[in-house]
Amino acid sequence: MLSALLDPQTGLLAPAYATPITLLVVAGVVVGLAITKVGSDLVLLGGLVTLVITKSVTIPHAVHGFANEGLIAVAILFIVAEGIEQTGAVSQLIQYVLGAPKTRLSAMVRMTLPVAAMSAFLNNTPIVAVMLPVLNDWSKKTRISVSQLMLPLSFATILGGLCTVLGTSTTVVVNKLLEAASREGEYAHLDMAPLGLFELGWVGLPCCLAGLAYILLTTRYLLPDRRPAMEQFENPREYTVEMVVEQSSPLIGRTIEEAGLRHLPNMFLMEVDRGGHILPAVSPKEILAVGDRLVFVGVVESVVDLQKFAGLTPATTQVFKLDSPRSERCLIEAVVSHSCRMVGMTIREAQFRTRYNAVVIAVSRNGERIRGKIGAIALQPGDTLLLEAHPSFADVQRNSGDFYLVSRVENSTPLRRERAWMAQVILVCLVVLITIVGLDILPAAAMAATAMLLTGCVKPREARACIDWGVLVTIAAGIGIGEAMHDSQAGLLVAEQFISLGGSHPETTLAIIYGVTMVFTNLITAKAAATLIFPIALATAQQFNVSPMPFIVAVMVAAAASFATPVGYQTNLMVQGPGGYRYSDYVRYGVPLSLLLWLVSVIVIPQVWTF
């Protein structure tokens, strides 16, 4: 019976049946993303499978997104970003730009303006990939919730990308479509030509400025202030850890506050030991000197952050006597058992490093602050030791009688700072290849990721683990659903119905074309919306017998300005997990911004590109 409903040429359901089914599935996906806690990757994948089963999209078109160049580039850029993070290649530079703002507003200004400026010339995706780990650390130091930074980061890159044709892949795609249409086809006679590099800035810059003003004024009120779970506990396990200022440390000569050691999350500087002289009440204006031993008290996550400071190393020299290189070690928590042979002995007397090939960095004991050097601490049952060791320590000692509990601390591998210059060179080459040489982002990113692996900036196991497969599945499934909207003619039908409302007024029709593109870009991804509405914009211009440029620019801007859903643009998806966002956050924060840009574009475009 189903075969009687199929189109013999395409093997799909006839449009009369496929269109309502596709629209129902898309509506179901939107509702599922909005009201359920199921991951967006599973919701979109479920919608795509439904469309395949109902013969609303061909299988090659359904899986087309999984072979999409942009998707593969995003996956590879995760590896490049991991190499940059593991070496600390740009963290110091970006931290210098971000600084230590006094207010939330100044923090937002420091973050959004440079990001938007970079996005005008660089692809949005690598910028967000590089900034994610940096902002995560910066949010802790500034005590600003990460949920108030990640979505503004994505939005700022999108806004900056509107200022030039190279700013986003979406604007590049539309410009390529415009170039092809101006040379050949039934619309070649129309008055149109591809945009120059900065020509889009006539409308993009006003949109960017209006959007950035919106971000600065509304973020505090429209985005949630979600705090990490650790901050919700009143008495988390605290460690006393001692760090020393190295001879070549960049912190030398800077005050405690300038060095960023004043407002560490869940950690404070208890005292400074300077040549045997103890400074118990450390002033934020105290200037750091070579050999200063800084005694901190804080939770394990903050100890991990502390180890990432350039020029600070654990005060115990034992860490340099372990067999394995520091770049291969991690932090491990181990609780001393009652049957441990070291109970009652000091860490030095027990020859802990020789016995276990591990070094004690800090000790936690029932919330007490243990004074004195690490080696002089006498171990007691129930002490929690923070160790630096090879990851194999956890596997070997997990069933040992010496410890009750042994667990690795996530993301605690010391940075490979000796390879930072290599990662910096690779990053610069990536930027040059994309912006100056004009190489596509996929081969450029592939070469950069290969270089990161070959130089040891990132390990193979880290490269495998850093790829966020949920983001990739979401992007691919979203592209597949966009293909279904095309195959079933559902998108064409809806677009034509909306645009017909414009009547005989080009200005009204321009606003409708922008609005329809804006809706579609948030539902079926930016590129799918652009390719769907582009021919309709040309046909509309021909019908009015006017220049198609205002309509095409409207499609270009509306397709690139995706704010209201996570699935519309890949950077929105990239920040969803790190920011802990829900679908409703995008709607509440993104819809007003989309409407604002709609208004600005509809006013500005006819002034620059006349009908």
What is the per-residue pLDDT for 586?
92
What is the per-residue pLDDT for 209?
96
Least confident segment among 88-97, 258-267, 352-361, 545-554: 88-97
Residues 299 and 232: their CA atoms lie apart, in Å, by: 13
Residues 276 and 261: their CA atoms lie apart, in Å, by: 21
Q: With residue 30 as reference, give the H or E element that holds it.
A: helix 15-35
Least confident segment among 76-85, 216-225, 467-476: 467-476
Mean pLDDT for 517-533 is 78
Quick check: 602 pLDDT over 90? yes
Least confident segment among 3-12, 287-296, 471-480, 589-598: 3-12
Mean pLDDT for 232-254 is 74
Q: Round the average pLDDT of the chain to a whole number and report it.
A: 80
pLDDT, one tens digit per residue, over 290-339 is 888 888 877 777 777 777 777 788 777 666 566 667 667 788 888 888 88
Give the whole-number percent of the chain exceeding pLDDT 90.
13
* Pairing outcome for strands 277-279 and 330-336: unpaired
Sorting pLDDT into bands at 50, 70 and 90, what band is 230? very low
Assess contact for 416 and 89: CB atoms under 8 A. no
Q: What is the CA radius of gyration of the chain?
A: 28
User: Which amino acid is residue 144, in one-letter code?
Assistant: I
What is the per-residue pLDDT for 227?
59
Quick check: 213 pLDDT over 80? yes
Sorting pLDDT into bands at 50, 70 and 90, what band is 205? very high
CB contact burial 541-553 (16+ within 10 A = b; e otherwise): beebebbbbbbbb
Mean pLDDT for 396-420 is 79
List the chain domain ranges: 1-67+89-232+468-611, 330-412
- Tell me if residue 271 falls in helix, strand or coil: strand
Quick check: 168 pLDDT over 80? no
CB contact burial 479-488 (16+ within 10 A = b; e otherwise): bbbbbbbbbb
Supply 146's token pair: 């990460």
DSSP for 54-98, please give it.
Answer: TTSS-HHHHTGGGG-HHHHHHHHHHHHHHHHHHHTTTHHHHHHHH
Mean pLDDT for 29-35 is 73
Sorting pLDDT into bands at 50, 70 and 90, what band is 596? very high
Q: What is the DSSP letter of 373?
A: -
What is the per-residue pLDDT for 557?
94
Assess contact for 79 and 457: CB atoms under 8 A. no
Give the whole-number percent of the chain exceeding pLDDT 70.
85
Supply 265's token pair: 């999350």
pLDDT, one tens digit per residue, over 86-137 is 887 766 666 667 776 777 888 888 889 988 988 887 777 778 877 887 787 7
What is the per-residue pLDDT for 234?
45
- Residue 274: strand pairing partners: 277
Sorting pLDDT into bands at 50, 70 and 90, what band is 595? very high
Quick check: 449 pLDDT over 60? yes
Least confident segment among 49-53, 210-214, 259-263, 428-432: 259-263
What is the per-residue pLDDT for 322?
65
Supply 276's token pair: 């045997």
Residues 519 and 594: their CA atoms lie apart, in Å, by: 9
Quick check: 154 pLDDT over 90? yes
**pTM for the whole structure:** 0.66
Residues 559 and 168: their CA atoms lie apart, in Å, by: 10
Q: Residue 132: how many CA atoms within 13 Å on its side-chain side?
A: 26
Q: Give the number of residues written for the chain.
A: 611
**Closest residue by Cα to residue 562 from 514, 594, 539:** 594
Report residue 510 CA to chain centroid gap: 34
What is the per-residue pLDDT for 1?
47
Quick check: 533 pLDDT over 60? yes
Class of the domain covering 330-412: alpha beta
Residues 527 and 498: their CA atoms lie apart, in Å, by: 20
Mean pLDDT for 346-353 is 84
**Closest residue by Cα to residue 560 from 603, 514, 600, 605:** 514
Mean pLDDT for 558-584 is 84
Q: With residue 389 as reference, give the H or E element that holds it.
A: strand 384-389
Sorting pLDDT into bands at 50, 70 and 90, what band is 591? very high
Degrees, nearest 5: CA angle 114-118-122: 160
pLDDT, one tens digit per residue, over 376-389 is 888 888 888 888 88
